[in-house]
Structure 1
């Protein structure tokens, strides 16, 4: 089977979408599919991009990095997505000939391509949902200003135009797949969960009571709640792996709560170095704030990263997290917005050696079925199904 996968984040970049796209392409190739990955260039060669992620690609994976996503004018960088769209479409005229599917994980690129004749079926891998904006942002109105609301309404129109034109849709979670089926009953939707880089053996982790968070530092990720929980658990320490604009505010918040001496901020680190920092923790934590987005739409890739690093997980109790965390078996779930419950769960998983060992043993059992290779196999089966007439 031949599969072309496209994404609009540059390669490499600190964005989660870039590593997700590369990991999916590697998984497709390891599953035996001839794979082509097309992403914008980001001032680096393919070899330099792969070194950034610490990835050695399979021989049946080709990576093409056409036009960069921005125009450089002195100190100004002007985003120019259409430039990449046109370059990608041109590449598809040769690279997708004979392909079983073209998979796109950016809605606007899916719209652009759906308006053209393509040499293979077009599939959208959904990482967001726009059919009901009011519902989507309920409980998180503080996250959306006028500019973002206008963008959301624009994407709502794009989604309604594009979905009916597609051969199929890939959702990452059952909850999001069900949303898509409800809003677009005619769409062929398949749930294919996020993957992980399965190690040959479960890595060792720290024996010290240290929780670690790795990822974006946006407000809805709930790191303020983590600091409040640390204040209630003076025997715990934390490592925060990630950088960006929110970092200064988070450092100030940790200082305000009096926990700054027990919180280490690494700042941004290359993707290949994240695993090293995870190994310094005993438990991975994801303390998200309560809102519809975090309950139903988010795809917590970092939980997979924690598992791959051998870390049991403490996170919030939500439909999307219940799909990947087995309570008392791979981690613990705490109620949203409850620092005391979060502190108790982190302390218990850090300090209860029997529980910690049981969770690590279960994670080790699950790793092969959670791999990016297994994800590649599932995507391949879905593309095969799309080639057959729909039952009924």
Structure 2
């Protein structure tokens, strides 16, 4: 038993598989069973272009390794280079030259034949040595390193490795932990008979995978498999101390409908009426699974439709489409995506029958496809190819007909035989005793017993509670009535979360992380749990800057947002980064950049472009950006001006007009906001500091690194930017506190078509030019308590409440997100 339990009441199980997990019913069911058996489970898969690194299956987090197979790719390039190095052939057209070329080609063929035999013998010997499979087929090493790294970060208490690919990573981690005195047991779940399996690629691939399994299977703490036949072969071939336990890959007993907005029953999606014969195939779309034989058979089955509910393999799908077009049966072919494993039987039960057309390969002779039991639980008779294990299942239970594997005419004849006696086959497949023997629940006890013998859990098997349909329905209701929001990178009392709670629906803050997890397993586990909570709770996620909910687990904030988008969540990013290229702004008349020194401007532009780059990448990927900069919003498509809610309650209004200040000895406080300014502007502000100080006023000119916009609420007069043409967030804080703001608003920002300010009320900005700034501020300071200034302060307060009270921000977000 492992002793490094991070959660004593629930040992942590890492469940490994070398696919994206979606549609792998054995992995999904095993994970749910592990939860029922008292474990905290993390599923680790392998990502591809169409999946996100972080996901979940019902309430169980999934992390997909972004493997790049760098070692295998480098080996492949080198191997091709060696194979392409051949001696040049003799040129010329004379009889002698032609004879020489013929002899040369014959010699090359003989040499290649002997070389191939020698290479195969050498590689078989090399692969059979301890760890030799790593050099024979480096893809095995890529898988090993990928799974091993994740295990170091997850720090599980027990490992369940599905199929051959994760074996090396699981075995290596277990050995390392055992050497450290904290043993972590691992279970090998053999999905197939590897020596008889079709493995893509050159012969080295199969040689290496067979050798890997042979070496590592005896280091596993337990072995389970899918059929008694495979269990016997594994026991005999590898001389295992104990015969592997059989856990058949049957579906769960319960049918679980999906919400109508997600999927509808098979016949509805195919647009096929109840009287039309409809065959259904569930599983991987691959030639060796016999899918082309099924399409070919349609030519001899007039009026019959076939639905493939399978993997999103674009190449095979296109081949099926082209083949059906060639045969003139495209209108009777339906290509559909997987549904969750818990809903397969509900989804397909309207079909006429199911089909399994495995081609005759050694591993297939031993295979008992999951689809046969899924068809049975759906009440469907089957048509199956005549391979040993699956044909014995069909004949022993009388649930269907058989055909010669790979023979389309035989398949069509078998289907017609099934139609002729359909009712008797349906009676057989719906026999209660037969169905009870073909359920996952009937085998789950053996699975739990295996785990508990290695790493006991305190909770017994509990009745499964699937939340998928209910959660989907609840999510649909939330979007229509009370959309929920998570603000990532939020403080304890985040103004965005508070505003959303007042004007839209529920909201939560999430502290987020700007740092990488540095390989810390606890951080990774917590990050996955955090992502799961966001995904389950929120309809939308608003990110502050480059904060991540998961640290580096999902490849950074962009990958994280795309992951949420794939799960129909709305996302957006709040940023004050300078998104518009400074070179474009410099050309605008009177802009602050117009009189900057070229070298200083060049350094600033490079830094600004670097700061903007990650946000512009998000923009290219369709992530909306929200900013308080009106110019950014006007000049960049996909950037939206949203007036950020103010983060603190506004103070009370100042004294009524004409009434003396509470303490006449308190000097007037002038704040010069740190922002981008022209050289001329800075020169005038230097004069302002000198003159205002000489008149007894208090002047602050803080550095950007020590400044927070909320400080503007504590000054009497705020000097905003004069040459940027827009007001800052400091001005918003000042107005909310009834302070006076001096600045300059570019008229084009409020009059240009599409400007965010066209429909907004005019701000109470006291206009001043650069040349007049000293006189303007000093005049205001001397007349601070006058009636006109008091009215301006009151106007500022009203403007701030209307624009920055939160209602406009929430309305803007909801309009862009359409929630």
TM-score range normalised by the length of the shorter chain:
0.7 to 0.9
Matches for 1:48-197 after TM superposition, within 5 Å: 49-50=56-57, 56-57=58-59, 63-66=60-63, 68-70=65-67, 81=143, 82-92=145-155, 95-96=156-157, 102-115=159-172, 116=175, 117-118=177-178, 119-130=183-194, 132=195, 136=196, 147-188=201-242, 189-197=244-252
Partner of 1:53: none
Equivalences, count: 347
d(CA) in 1 for partners of 2:211, 2:256:
47
Matches for 1:285-364 after TM superposition, within 5 Å: 285-296=355-366, 298-322=367-391, 324-327=393-396, 329-362=398-431, 364=432
The alpha-carbon distance between structure 1 residues 20 and 383, as it changes in their structure 2 partners (threshold 3 A), is: closer
The alpha-carbon distance between structure 1 residues 88 and 372, as it changes in their structure 2 partners (threshold 3 A), is: farther
1:247 Cα shift? Answer: 1.2
Partner of 1:75: none
Partner of 2:16: 7
- Aligned 8 A contact 1:24 1:375 in 2: no
Q: What is the CA deviation profile of residues 191-216 of structure 1, one whole-angstrom value per residue up to 9, with x for unaligned ones?
A: 22112022269999955321111222
Give the TM-score, by structure 1 length: 0.75
d(CA) in 2 for partners of 1:374, 1:2:
24
Q: Which has the bigger relative contact order, CA under 8 A and spacing at least 6? A: 1
Match of 1:34 among 34, 39, 47: 39
- Aligned 8 A contact 1:29 1:376 in 2: no
1:264 Cα shift? Answer: 2.3
Q: What is the CA deviation profile of residues 136-191 of structure 1, one whole-angstrom value per residue up to 9, with x for unaligned ones?
A: 26xxxxx666x342222221221122012122211111221122112111342222
The alpha-carbon distance between structure 1 residues 10 and 342, as it changes in their structure 2 partners (threshold 3 A), is: closer
- Aligned 8 A contact 2:296 2:327 in 1: yes
d(CA) in 1 for partners of 2:165, 2:429:
40
- Aligned 8 A contact 1:284 1:306 in 2: yes
1:237 Cα shift? Answer: 2.2
How large is the RMSD of aligned CA atoms in angstroms? 3.5
Give the TM-score, by structure 2 length: 0.38
- The DSSP-based 3-state class of the residue aligned with 1:193 is coil
Whichever of the two has the greater Rg, that structure is 2
Q: What is the CA deviation profile of residues 303-342 of structure 1, one whole-angstrom value per residue up to 9, with x for unaligned ones?
A: 2222232222111222321464355632223332333332
The alpha-carbon distance between structure 1 residues 207 and 275, as it changes in their structure 2 partners (threshold 3 A), is: farther
Any stretches of 5+ residues in structure 1 without a counterpart?
51-55, 58-62, 73-78, 138-142, 388-392
d(CA) in 2 for partners of 1:104, 1:292:
23
- The DSSP-based 3-state class of the residue aligned with 1:37 is strand
1:267 Cα shift? Answer: 4.0
The alpha-carbon distance between structure 1 residues 335 and 287, as it changes in their structure 2 partners (threshold 3 A), is: same
d(CA) in 2 for partners of 1:346, 1:3:
47
Partner of 1:284: 354
The alpha-carbon distance between structure 1 residues 328 and 236, as it changes in their structure 2 partners (threshold 3 A), is: farther
- Aligned 8 A contact 2:256 2:346 in 1: no
The alpha-carbon distance between structure 1 residues 323 and 35, as it changes in their structure 2 partners (threshold 3 A), is: farther
1:217 Cα shift? Answer: 1.6
1:29 Cα shift? Answer: 3.5
Partner of 1:371: 439
Q: Which moved more, 1:378-387 or 1:164-173?
A: 378-387
1:381 Cα shift? Answer: 3.1
Q: What is the CA deviation profile of residues 48-99 of structure 1, one whole-angstrom value per residue up to 9, with x for unaligned ones?
A: x33xxxxx45xxxxx3444633369xxxxxx96424422224423xx41xxx
d(CA) in 2 for partners of 1:308, 1:248:
31
The alpha-carbon distance between structure 1 residues 361 and 193, as it changes in their structure 2 partners (threshold 3 A), is: same
